[in-house]
Amino acid sequence: MAGHGGSPRVADTGTIPVSGGYLAHAGFRYLWLSIILCVAVIAAYCWGEPAEGANGGTWLGYVLGVIGVLLVIWLALLGVRKRSYNSNLGSVRGWVSAHVYLGMALIVVATLHSGFHFGWNVHTLAYVLMLLVVASGLYGVVAYWRYPSLIAANRDQSSREVMLAELDEINQQSLKLSDGLDANVHRVIVASIDRIRIGGGIREQLFEARAADQRSIERIERELSATGKFSTQQLSPFLQTQAAASTVAFMAQEVVTGERKSGQAQKLLDLLTRRRDLVARINRDIRMHARMQVWLYVHVPLTFALLAALVAHIVCVFIYR
């Protein structure tokens, strides 16, 4: 994947640069702008109080609607702005800062535009989509605030590409080492390599291995250490699920029983321990990246849904004036 791991940057967050506090951009300029906007529209709403009841059809309703639609269009244009690297319409950091604060102000503007009238119609659909887009964006703000440092700490000066290369290296080394030990060990190592899980589907990326798997691993490890015996039957349920962790237990067992050439076995055990940690780190890296970016897969499509609903809302309101 382009942009992943290869660069020494702390956190690869797609195309939005988050280095530095974009939230505090220009002395919270856009936070203040949003607060002023919110206060102004709330004041106008309270002061206006049309006799026929607040709704989108009053003069204030139209004003709020126009402000709202301009905000939505401008907010959506961030996707264009961040792709046009030669733009001189202000820094992307400033855009992101304004995007976040004005996006939150949009909730106030749109809610007052609605006059708190909701129903099963295209108008409320647009409103709900707007809320979902902003909510997913807020998740993004939190994610971009929280995950980069966690990812950096997890990578520990390394990068994902380096870690993956290291994993391949370890696998090759462990196969070679196990080959020198005996067929049984070799077979277990082969099986464990086949079953290393790196990344995977959406669920695997977003969530840790299920607790049930963890429990079964622990049970097998306990069993192994207690009986000192090893058999395919005992290992097979474990082999079906997760290999890396228990392979360590297996090798530990091999070392403890002392029937092996202990130097090589110890080396292999060390390798497997390293591998277990490495796999966990890589998966944690993938998981945190996935969690940091999953909102975009909601935010962007819902933005387009919102734009469509907004078009329908505006056009139908004018069709049936």
Partner 1 sequence: MRILIRRWTSQAGQRIADDRKLDARRLRIGRGTDQDIELPDLRVALAHAEIVQNERHAMLIARGRAIVMVNDEPTTEHKLRNGDVIDIGRFRLVIAPAPAGADFQVEIEERVTAHDEKTVRQRRRLTLADAGLSRRMPSLALFIAILFLGLVLPAGLRFGFSSPGPQPATATAARAAAGSNRLHADRIWLPGTFSDAHAYFKTDCAKCHQTPFASVRNSACQSCHQDAHAHITDKRWLAQPVFAQARCTDCHQEHHGSAGLVRRDEALCGACHAQIQKKFPGSHMDPATSFSMRHPVFTPLVARYQPEAKTFHWIQARMDQPAQLYSQTNLKYRHDKHLDPGGIMSPTGRRILHCNDCHVPDASGTSFKPVSMQRDCAGCHRLDFDPDAPQRTVPHGEPQQVISVIRDFYAHEALAGRILASDVSTEDPGRPHAQAPSSSLTPEDMQAWAAQRASRAITEIFTVRSCVVCHTVEATADAALPYRVLPVAPPVARYLTGALTFNHAVHRDEPCASCHAATKSKAATDVLLPTIMRCRDCHGDAGTAAMVQSTCIDCHGYHIVGSGGTAAERPRLSSISKEAERP
Nearer to partner 1, 31 or 103 (CB): 103
Q: By CB neighbour count within 10 A (0-12 exposed, 13-18 middle, 19+ buried), where does 24 fall?
A: exposed
Nearer to partner 1, 23 or 198 (CB): 198
Q: What is the largest CA-CA distance in the chain?
A: 92
Nearer to partner 1, 26 or 191 (CB): 191
> CB 253 → partner 1: shortest distance, Å?
15
Q: By CB neighbour count within 10 A (0-12 exposed, 13-18 middle, 19+ buried), where does 233 fall?
A: exposed
Q: By CB neighbour count within 10 A (0-12 exposed, 13-18 middle, 19+ buried), where does 171 fall?
A: middle
**Tokens 């207690």 identify what position?**
226
Nearer to partner 1, 34 or 114 (CB): 114
Interface positions with partner 1 (CB under 8 A): 1, 4, 50-53, 55-57, 117, 119-123, 125, 160, 164, 168, 172, 175-176, 179, 183-184, 186-187, 190-191, 193-194, 198-202, 204-205, 232, 286, 289-290, 293-294, 296-297, 300-305, 307-309, 311-313, 315-321
| 134 CB neighbour count, 10 Å cutoff | 21
Give me the helix-helix angle, 296-319 and 59-76, nearest 10°: 140
Q: By CB neighbour count within 10 A (0-12 exposed, 13-18 middle, 19+ buried), where does 200 fall?
A: exposed
Nearer to partner 1, 109 or 189 (CB): 189
Nearer to partner 1, 31 or 286 (CB): 286
> CB 183 → partner 1: shortest distance, Å?
5
Nearer to partner 1, 23 or 63 (CB): 63
Token pair belonging to 228: 């000192």
CA 289, CA 304: separation in Å to the nearest integer? Answer: 24
- Cα first-last separation, the chain: 51
Nearer to partner 1, 22 or 127 (CB): 127
Is-contact 205 296, C-beta < 8 A?
Answer: no
Token pair belonging to 63: 């004003």
Q: Which residues neighbour 191 within 8 Å (Cβ) at sequence distance 6 or greater?
A: 239, 243
> CB 12 → partner 1: shortest distance, Å?
10
CA 245, CA 242: separation in Å to the nearest integer? Answer: 7
